[in-house]
A and B are shown apart, each in its own frame.
Chain A
Amino acid sequence: YDTFMTVSCHSYVDTSISLEQIENLHKRFQRLSDNEETISRKHLDSIPSLDNNPIKKQIIEAFFDKRNQHQDEVGSCEEIGFEQFLMVMSHFRPPSLKTTEEEKEAMRKEKLRFLFNMHDTGNDGTITLVEYRKVVEELLSKSGDIGQEAAKAIADAAMLEVASTNVPHMDPDDFYEGITFEHFEQILKGLEMETRMYIRFLDVETPTLRCGKSTS
């Protein structure tokens, strides 16, 4: 167990998740995986409290997305180990008073990238209209009265908005291919998502216990 922790810690730099938090997450991981080494989609799928979440599918998919694992490969894997689990979770760590500006900037990019990847199901670096429609559709799937057509319409309108803000001068014959990461960053600037994208992993009492060194 100890060796496992150190392994995961070493491969897991640049996070401010404490050892205690990691332990907690590990317990959770074991519960989810029924004490297996790895976790698969059906494990996450069976979490009862996720049932009401309209974007359940996308979130689960994000855990198996290789792009979120700091690896330079694309595609998705069938099952992930704790290390990968932790990696995905680390996107949701809170900033602390000690993080420097550069770290913050890196964190911001990383968090936004996570959201971007969640939408870019085609792995091609742009969120196309079709992909975005899917997102909106799923998002609205729990709110009953709104039909597919309406969802589509909203997605279209949103896309138009992105297009008009990012590419103000387009010929009438041009087409907007999709949202690139740069555009994505641009439009989400106002939301300051990066400063809000965190969860409390547990009651942090001793934030000093760090594992690994902080590299920017």
Chain B
Amino acid sequence: MQRCGYVHLWLLGSVLLICLISGVTSVKGDVALLHQESHLKPLSEFKSNLNQTEQGNGSRVITGISIVTFKWNHVKTPYLVALWILVAVLAKLVIESFPSVTNVIPESALLICFGWILGGIIWAADLQQTFSLTPTVFFYFLLPQIILDAGYSMPNKLFFTNLGGILLYAILGTVWCAATLGLSLWGCQAGGAMGALDIGLLQYLLFGSLIAAVDPVAVLAVFEQVHVNEVLFIMVFGESLLNDGVTVVLFNVFDAFVKLGGPRINAVEIIKGIISFFVVAFGGSLVGLAFGLLVSLLSKYTKNIQIIEPGFIFVLGYLSYLTADMLSLSAILSVTFCGVSCQKYLNSNMAESSVNTVRYVMKVFANGSETIIFVFLGISAIDKTIWVWNTGFVLLTLFFTLVYRFIGTFIQTWWLNQYRLVPIAFIDQLIMSYGGLRGAVAYGLATMLDDQRIKEKKLMIGTTLIVVYFTVILQGVTMKPFVTWLKVKRAAVAEVTLIEKVQNKVFEHSLVAIEDISGQIGDNYLRGKWKIFEEKWMSRFLLTSEARKKQDYIFNVFHQLNLKDAVDYVDEGERRGSLEFVRNESAFINFKKKLGDEFSEVLPDIMAAASDDPDAMRRDPVSSVSLQMHEKTMQGTRETEDIDAHHLLQQHLYKGRKQHLHRYSRNHLDINTDDNEVQEIFQRTMRNRLESFKSAKMGLAPAKTITKHTKKDQQQKMPNGKSTDTSKNYYANNEGFELSEGDNASGSEASGGSFPFRVNYKAGAGIENPTFMPDPDPMAPMQIPPWQAEDEPDGSTVSPSQRAQVRLPWTPTNLRRLAPLRISTQSTDSFAQADTPASQEKDKKWPPPPPPPSDK
């Protein structure tokens, strides 16, 4: 609560600052950023400001050197931009600090309300609206990243499986809504329902086309809080994404018609309009695909510039948007398909850390834009000049948008259900219709109307705003109760287990096989063929050879495997306390260890975060598409715990100081994996084990000196020893971890019998944790030190004991495949072996600890 108070103060402060500044600007009569007409090119404006100031300074008689000058004009534009972003984000912060409110009212609605308040304050200060959302800012700076994110995190399989339906809704549905709305309004006007309005049929159709599209931003904002089943979700979401493109195209076509004027429109022009509709839509998609493939191809060669590797997708994504726009093709569709087509290849080609970076940065951009958009949607309303009221027009528009959405959805679904194997249920149709939220795209298009030709532009803008408010706020708020009340099938909370994955794979293959046998060409058939084609050509062309190896789902399987173990391991330790926790390790450790060892060749970053798993994303489309990053952790506390535990392990199992060594460098962020260090780690773990082994044998408590660093350690710490120390303290204190001498948990893992292994982690620290750093070295297997490499053949050729081959040994605590000791696996086993000689006769398969190469 205390924190919330501060937050309020902060917000108040920044709001005041904005008011002050906007006051200053309006007094000076300058052009403010985001002012209606004046910032087509904020940058050049900025430059001209710069010039102005310079000239001003030059012309003044210089009487002396002033020590400090106040150069507001100099920085005005970027300053205001930054301030606005700050305010919007702070607003989100405040809103999110009341989860009880956001549970009931969707965040988007709250942001709009906040925008109203802010707009009111500005209005009070200026007596006019100096800030509003303009099409340029919206379409060029706010929208692209949202769409890119949506495309990039699209659950591809689901999307393409339902592509037919999605396309139907997106194209036919939008055209239907636009046409019916336009015609009905026109009819109503002819019937005299709205008084005298200077709007012709074409203008009505134009208006209908801009308001027809369901907005992905609004839909996501609402649907991510209501976990509906995945088919329903992808239908609504996919539709909203694609029909944005469609509506823009439609808008442009009608805009051209309006420009052409009624009498000059003949059949040829109409046909040209229809053709251009398809050319624009598919051309845009093709441009997007081309760019997507380009990004994928590029990512194949970016290994050496890992730091800027994540930048490519953003730059090229934006370029695909601009290119399509330049060619007057659909920019939205372009950037959507760019994201959709490259995600798979990027995720496999790039280093794990880059994949994470992309994911996070994408969410940061998208979420930030979304917040700003909603706030500005609110602010824009507080402006006397845009409001021209016409009750008939407004109410009829509201009524028709709602009704035709329902009718359209039902008709199309009925038609679609004739061909769908699993029909869309009635309740799902209701939600689909009700989920037709309009949003900022409609508003952006409305402000783009040409007031020369459309006399009632203001009325249209006002009405659009009302429709947006109505759908986002009213429908958004009622959506959740509605879904609960109708008992809509929710998304299954999927806990991915290994066996489920394997079974799923078997299952998919059997479907394809049955289709092959029955000689049908169905969805699975096509999917199977596409897969083969992809493996044969696309992958070869677009994936690095390494990525191709790992690309198989074995990658995911192994992730799961190890993650699960890591979690179990910690859980177990937590539950049982320090001593008991390792009591049972003796008998089965080899069985488990062997596993871990085998895989350490296949896959280096065992400990990547739970959310890293691309397959997990596919399995849970609702959250992965969501703009909220933290949504990923909302699958229940267990997930959070997983991530926490995982975080914990990561902090303590591998890292240690080495991670910080290169922090000052701009080009390298990787762990130092040079031989010395590997050696050092090896020796340290060995020492730890021996010490604890001794002490365990003698029944002594472990001496604290176990983890004392050698002289060499100290030296290595030197470059930035200070930062290392502070960060360590940070883990220990702030994170709530208490891991005694945990700087090398491989030690405590093996010697846990004598180590108090106590973990207090708190839920919620999760992946938002700033100190969280995924293991970024895909090269690790290449750098296995030679003395280990020698042993690999041994390890892989040994077979388990007779007994273990047929039946599975079981003990509650034996899930210890955990492979924390990537660097020194062998020695663990050797230690375990030494520790428990009695139980090893049968399973004995590990050679004695390989001698580490002599230390210089």
Contacts and interface: CB of A to CB of B under 8 A. Distances in A.
B510 A59 contact: yes
A115 interface: yes
Nearest to A28: B519
Interface residues of A, number: 76
Interface stretch (A6-14, A50-58, A71-79): A50-58
Interface in B456-501: 492, 494-495, 497-500
B807 A139 contact: no
A55 B515 contact: no
A170 B520 contact: no
Nearest to B426: A97
Nearest to B557: A154
A136 interface: yes
Given A150-B598, A172-B810, A176-B810, A97 B423 contact: yes
A146 B554 contact: yes
Interface in A136-161: 136, 139-140, 143-147, 149-150, 153-161
Nearest to B425: A97
Interface in A117-133: 118-119, 128-130
Contact of A193 (B494, B507, B814): B507
A115 B503 contact: yes
A199 B514 contact: yes
Given A154-B502, A200-B421, A146 B552 contact: yes
Contact of A153 (B502, B511, B599): B599
B838 to A, nearest CB: 15
Contact of A199 (B515, B812, B814): B515
B414 to A, nearest CB: 12
A85 to B, nearest CB: 9
Contact of A170 (B502, B524, B552, B810): B810
A136 B499 CA distance: 10
A56 B513 contact: yes
Given A28-B518, A97-B423, A198-B421, A161 B523 contact: no
Contacts of A146: 552, 554, 602
Contact of A157 (B498, B528, B532, B552): B498
B65 interface: no
* Interface of chain A: mostly helix, strand, loop or mixed: helix
Contacts of A128: 806
Contacts of B678: none
Interface in A155-199: 155-165, 167-170, 172, 174-177, 187-188, 190-193, 195-199
A58 B505 CA distance: 14
Contacts of B517: 32, 44, 47, 50, 59, 63
B511 to A, nearest CB: 6
A89 interface: yes
B509 interface: yes
B305 interface: no
Nearest to B494: A190
Nearest to A192: B492
A110 B76 CA distance: 71
A159 B808 contact: yes
B150 interface: no
A94 interface: yes
Q: Which of B505, B509, B594, B805 has the most CB of A within 10 A?
A: B509
B806 A130 contact: yes
B27 interface: no
A5 interface: no
Given A89-B514, A92-B511, A163 B502 contact: no
Interface of B: 419, 421-423, 425, 492, 494-495, 497-500, 502-507, 509-520, 522-524, 528, 532, 549, 552, 554, 557, 561, 564, 584, 587, 591, 594-595, 598-599, 602, 796, 805-812, 814-815, 817
16 contacts: A28-B519, A52-B532, A59-B510, A59-B514, A59-B517, A136-B502, A140-B552, A150-B554, A150-B598, A154-B557, A170-B811, A170-B812, A172-B812, A174-B810, A190-B492, A199-B520
Interface of A: 25, 28, 31-32, 44, 47, 49-50, 52-56, 58-59, 63, 89, 92, 94-97, 115, 118-119, 128-130, 135-136, 139-140, 143-147, 149-150, 153-165, 167-170, 172, 174-177, 187-188, 190-193, 195-203
